[in-house]
Amino acid sequence: MKKAIFYHAGCPVCVSAEQQVVESIDKDRYDIEIVHLGEDTGRGRINEAEQAGIESVPAILLDGAAFHINFGASMADVKGDA
Amino acid sequence: MKKAIFYHAGCPVCVSAEQQVVESIDKDRYDIEIVHLGEDTGRGRINEAEQAGIESVPAILLDGAAFHINFGASMADVKGDA
C-alpha cells in the first residue's frame, strides 16, 4: 500500500477539499491518513509536514510527494506566529 | 461514474503532478480525462476550464469542483496574454 496523508487546519476550505479529494483516492492502493494540524499542539505533525515539503494547507502527500491544494492557510498561520 | 478532468499546460511541474495525482485516483469510480491547455489553440477547453473555476494549472476538476495543485502557470500565461 502507498501512503496518502491529507493535512488540513479545520477551516471550511480545508474540510471541503478533504471530503472531495480523499473521496477520489483509490483506497485499494492507498492507505489514507487525515491530519488536523490545527489540533497538533505538540507540533510534531507540523514539523513532519514541513519536512515533507508542505508549505500550506490543505495539502496532500502522495507517496511522499507534496501537493498543495488551492490556497488555504499558510503554515505560519497554523502555528499562530504569522 | 464520476468525472475527473486534469488540466495542465505541458510544463514540468504539470507533468509531474499529473502522473502522481492521476495515479492516485480510483479508476473504478472516476472517468479520467487529461487536457493539455497549451495545445488548445481553439480555446474551447480553456473557456470550459475557466467557467468551471480553474484559475491556474495544474488543476483537477473532481465531479465539477475545481482544485488547484501547487501553483504552476496562470491562465493568463497559458493564453499568452499575460
Subunit contact A65:B25, Cβ cutoff 8 A: no
Complex prediction ipTM: 0.74
What residues form DSSP beta bridges with A62?
A4, A65
Tens-digit pLDDT profile for residues B51-77 = 998 988 889 999 998 898 875 556 676
Subunit contact A67:B26, Cβ cutoff 8 A: no
Interface check B19 vs A, CB under 8 A: no
Q: What's the pLDDT at B11?
A: 79
Subunit contact B21:A62, Cβ cutoff 8 A: yes
Cell 510544463 belongs to B11
Interface check A62 vs B, CB under 8 A: yes
Residue A29 CA to residue B79 CA, distance in Å, equals 37
Nearest to B69 among A28, A30, A68 (CB): A68
The CA–CA distances, whole Å, from B43 to B9, B32, B60 equal 13, 20, 18
Residue A81, pLDDT above cutoff 70: no
Q: In B, which residues are within 8 Å of A17 by CB distance?
A: 67
Subunit contact B67:A4, Cβ cutoff 8 A: no
Q: Whole-prediction pTM value?
A: 0.80
Nearest CA among B75, B4, B15, B70 for reference residue B40:
B75
Residue B60 CA to residue B21 CA, distance in Å, equals 9
Q: What's the pLDDT at A12?
A: 75
Torsion angle defined by CA atoms of residues B67, A29, A33 and A47, in that order, rounded to the nearest 10 degrees: -80
Cell 490545527 belongs to A38
pLDDT (average), residues B20-36: 94
DSSP per-residue string spanning A6-39: EEE-S-HHHHHHHHHHHHHB-TTTEEEEEEEGGG
